[in-house]
Structure 1
Amino acid sequence: MAAQTAPSQQTDRQLRLLVGLVACVALGVLVAALVGVAYTEFSSGLAVRVGALALIIAIAGVTYVRVRIRSTNHDISWTDSAMLVAVVMLPLPWAVLATAVAVTIAKSIHKLRGIKFVFGVAKESITCGLAGLILTAAGGVADRPLDSLGPLALAYAGLVLADDLIAIPVLALATGTSVKDRFLSNLDLTWASAFVRFAVAVLALAVLAEEPGLLVAIPLIVLSLQLTYRGKLRARAERLAWQQLAEATDAMNVVQMETVLHTAVRNGARLFSAETVEIDVSLDGAQQLVRGTHQGITYHGAPDEAAVDARTTAVVPLIGEPDGERVGELRLCFHVPVALSEREQFTLRAFAGALCTAIRNATSYAQLEQLAGQHQHDATHDLLTGLPNRRRLQLEAEDALDRRQRGRGVTALLVLDLNHFKDVNDALGHTAGDQVLITVARRLEEAAGSEALVTRLGGDEFAVLYRGLPAPALAQHRAENLLAVLHEPVDVDGMPLVVSAGAGVAVAPSRGGFVELLRRADIAMYQAKRTGRVVAVYAREDDTADRGRLVVGGMLPRAVAEKEFTLQFQPIVDLAGGEVIGAEALARWQHPDKGMVDPRSFLEPIERSGLLTAFTDAVLDQALAGAARWRELGCRWPVAVNISPRSLLDRRLPALVTRRLDDHGLPGDALVLELTESHTVSQLDIVDKVLAELMELGCAIALDDFGTGYSSLSVLPRVPATELKIDRSFVMQMENTPSSAAVVRSTVELGRHLDLLVVAEGVERDSQRRLLWDLGCTAGQGHLFAKPMPLAEILDLVGAGDGTVRLAEPLHDPKAVVRLPAKRSPGRAARQSGPTGAAGGGRVSDSTA
């Protein structure tokens, strides 16, 4: 049994002092009674009355109702009723002595000893004397007791109140409860039973006034009433016990183990009136011992090895249902041996069962909480290195960005990627690679300090979040110092490996949040790798990402389906005479909400999407429809259409071109397909068949933007091209840059030797036109002649002409003899089926005019 605590020892001392005070007062009352007896006349009738009433009081004291509080039993009886009868029928001194003798006999029969015996006799002696004094002061009792109900009620009320005023402080001190709580406890039952006992006393007095000889029958009446009262009090105690049990078990319906155990200890001590309650939990991972009283917990920690005294401790094993798992023990500890009643034993088993269930539930909840915490940790941490992961980085960065908006320093992000890490995995295996990652993670975390957040984004990529920096420039300084920790070789199974990294730093943007911050740091990191630097800081000029293309890419499917793409046509002219010899179809996108969309923003997304074939078909359809219209007006210009190199990988392209030519009743030579140089075009094994079929249709092939693409010279001899188009960048710079003029001259010479028509793009000034002519170029297009225009305007030009559409004045008088430069050729005229202009079937530049 647990040792008696210091508070219990203090309580015992206080009880002794209080009982001693009561005993001293009682001694004074008894001395006064003895003095009074000496001055009272004694007779045989008085002796009979004294003996009979003493017997009644003794019987009432023996037939009590016992209530146990902790280790102490408290007896409730009809003694007060008998004492009121004695006070009325006997002189006060004899009534006090009779009460003292009777109570002494009753307590002796119950084998009470020591402080309990003294307190019981003293309390009853005092209350009897007080009742007699109140009755005497109220004028006594008339011959008919019913005529003196007022004095009797005052005397009885004084007796009951005196009994409570003496007993309740002692009980409150013994139980550790407040005097107020003890007084209010069962107040209704206390005064109801007091009223019944008062009524019985008055009735007994009335009967004895009429027939004094019936005094000998009063003990039987008192006995029967006492038994009835005891039954009612026991029933009420049963109901109260079950109510307290229900409240105690309900209080344990929580999921925190500490709350369950502490609540069970306090309620158990209160429910079973135990000095101390112990709960010893023996479940794996939850072993603990809780000890306490109804007032609070005195110990909560590891189980001790103190021996349990079976005589003063009620031990109940806690066995789980239905598996029979031993959960622990519940112990009720008393100062002295206590025998629990049958009702208390049943209540104890029910309480233990509820406690066992509550402990197992709390244990399960703790395990689930631990598992949930582990899952939450795993959700925000990298399993290999233990570092926070990308999700945790985002949460912390968003919080830091929010604080930054409130003026709490600069937020910056460092993203680093290990160089040649794949070589480590390939050469030494993934286990060695994991060791490298773990070592790098540990070094970065130690070097970064507690203020920075080091995370692993995945693979060999790490990130470090800096928060609250005083200045943006400090981010690069810290990043350089941080990467210095990687200079020391990493030991992998005895092999030193040198690890290096490229890193990018970005300061939090004013808009875009974490996503934009991470994107900028990524761009800076790749810039560092490209330039060979260790750390690069994000610079806007290095940011080539185009979000607009992503937006445009999302709008393309609807644009193709709704036929929002239209064509404009830019004439191609003979540089010498200024006559139109063809027209290039240029795709335009008229968005219903955004208006005209820049072609540079949608052409590349179309090539990467699955809409390329549908887009090509729509452009061919409109372009050939326009060619058919101006042919109806007498102009046989071919129309040039740009074809994506990816389209050459589509075996259906020749069939598509054939279908559209047939739809508009045009021959193959009405169409020029312009191809941009690319790696795809150079893979002739793949595109040879497609190009051959297009040539069989009579379509001309033009190489667009010649000189700017992939391996121009290697492509040219193998592609069945009929035209070369000089890129506008060379035309724009040829007047001021000798190298550009040399490229133009070389391209013209190349075209002359291969018998190809050379067309210059981007001709905007007359000086450029004349220089191109001097260099040997015979055809061009650009704003000098005409901007791209809708089909209607092209048709207006054709309709206003006389068979020839001239957009610029000739460079020379038609009747003058023009001296051509050395090795000058008018260009290829392989498709001449008529004169240039309205009757010409091919795109030819005749410079002999």
Structure 2
Amino acid sequence: MGEAVRSRAGGKGRRRLSTNQESSQLLDLGRAHHMLAAHYDVHELMLREAPLEQVLTELVRGIERQTDGMIGSLLLFDAETRTLRHGAAPSLPQAYVDALDGTVVGPEVGSCGSAAHHAREVIVVDVERDPRWEEWRELARGNDLGACWSAPILDASGAVLGTFALYYTAPRMPSKGELRLIRQASRLAAIAIERYRAHAELKRLATRDTLTGLPNRALLIDRLTQALARSRRTGSEAAVVFCDLDHFKLVNDSLGHEVGDWVLREVADRLAGAVRPGDTVARFGGDEFVVVADGITADGARRLAGRLHGALEHPLQHPDSGEHLISASLGIALAGADLDAQEAVRRADSALYEAKRDGVATRLYSAELHRRATEQLALHTALRGALARDELRLVYQPIVRAGSGAVVGFEALMRWEHPQLGCVSPGRFIPAAEETGLMIELGDWALATAAAQARCWSAEQTPVTVSVNLSARQLLDPELVARVRRILADSGLEPALLAVEVTETALLEHDVRAARSLGALAALGVHVALDDFGTGWSSFARLRRLPIETIKIDREFVAGLGTDPDARAIVTAMIGLARGLDLFVTAEGVETEDQLELLRELGATHLQGYHLGRPAPAADATALLAARGAGPPG
């Protein structure tokens, strides 16, 4: 009987246990179902790229639906300030949320501050008695909060992203199921936070310059578009300041790109520190920066330009390469309702071009600049078809021996006659050809045309040297020597009857590569002359290194002969230098008989100028040869 009773009692006990287990399993199944639903809802919101706060709020609500009487809270960790910021707490009173926002984490700072500090769960069963809640106890009591269980939200590397907490109104210990909920919520929150941070980083990288951290060109155009929209609403103007560093290429070429990158970062920091709050400083590309400032006047834009110049006036101090003096040229455009962002930037760039061309620090875009830019564009466009339309021609100016007056050569000079633009000065179209990349093509045409004409004169028993000017762009072209060789072969001209003239400026800017090209041309037998001598501060060492046979004294010095004692002294020194180096001397710009006689007296070997012959077509040059006779260049 007793056994039977015990057996029945045991059976009832087992049935009661089984019922409890069954109830717990049903609860767990229900929670699992709700958790799956919460996962789905959260992922759906992330796929729709809903704001992070909306995603986290839905996550907290999904957890709260699974726990009777529980209140969820999600805080985000700011690693820089080591504070917890509001993430989501849809069921907590706003006053409580505001009080928690900005909490500095620490080892004894409530449940969440402690969990974030230790990167582990903190279970506070009784807020009223737990020492970690001493600072927040009155706040919790006033909001009827008795327990708080918090878990850290960790990323894949274990770094703290935030905390997830469940509050209960009365002191109590969490069940195993509730702890699982907190942990699952923390993992799901980590996925959401990491996804959004990765997305934000991708967005930042897409709109930021990777070297300087400044806004890139895409973000610049976006912000400028917004600034112009505000200008249309308010009737004000926005300023676009285009900033280009002067001679920055020398830094990269001489010190390397690592130092160059360091300079760009330092310049970016200085420019960013020189503008008003709300202005945008962007890296446009290379060593170019653009500043956008809206709600500004022309005077305000000039003051802004002054601050930008001032930011760069003190040397940059590199730890290894020492001091670097950096300056910049600025172009300013004021933009209002009539412009779009691209046109505003283009105008600022045009003003910058004018500043650099005129050698000034800053230029403000104006109607006159617009007219000149329009003309320049028309010039560039027309020049592209000049060769095909047969609008270019060569004229030949004689070079004579100082003693006998015999013609020893001609300098071939390019001329352009356009049907609408008229006779375009070489001072206009040669720089335009350099800028547009057409100089190589035009230079090849000039070399081929001049070589063919020289071959004709040679065939008529009047061999003279023909000189052709080479630009800096041609000197840097690695195919220059090969093309000159081909031109000589095609024309049948002896190399000794072709000379190339290069300016001091071109040699100063590109010393090593220019010297290499000139050496290869000299090896072919082509003569080399240094044009505009005295204007570029050539050194004796450079003259000795280069394969130069002739120096051409610039017309500026010849013009002063007879009236300016300094000019006579300079020309005398130049001729003496040339004699010492065993070079020929051609004096350019001979305009008078007095200049001619004085140059003969000073020892110039060759002369060139209007007094001896103006540039003329090939037929007139041929007639001049017949009248005066030709002589060897020496």
- TM-score normalised to structure 2 length: 0.50
Higher strand fraction (1 or 2): 2
Larger radius of gyration: 1
- TM-score normalised to structure 1 length: 0.39
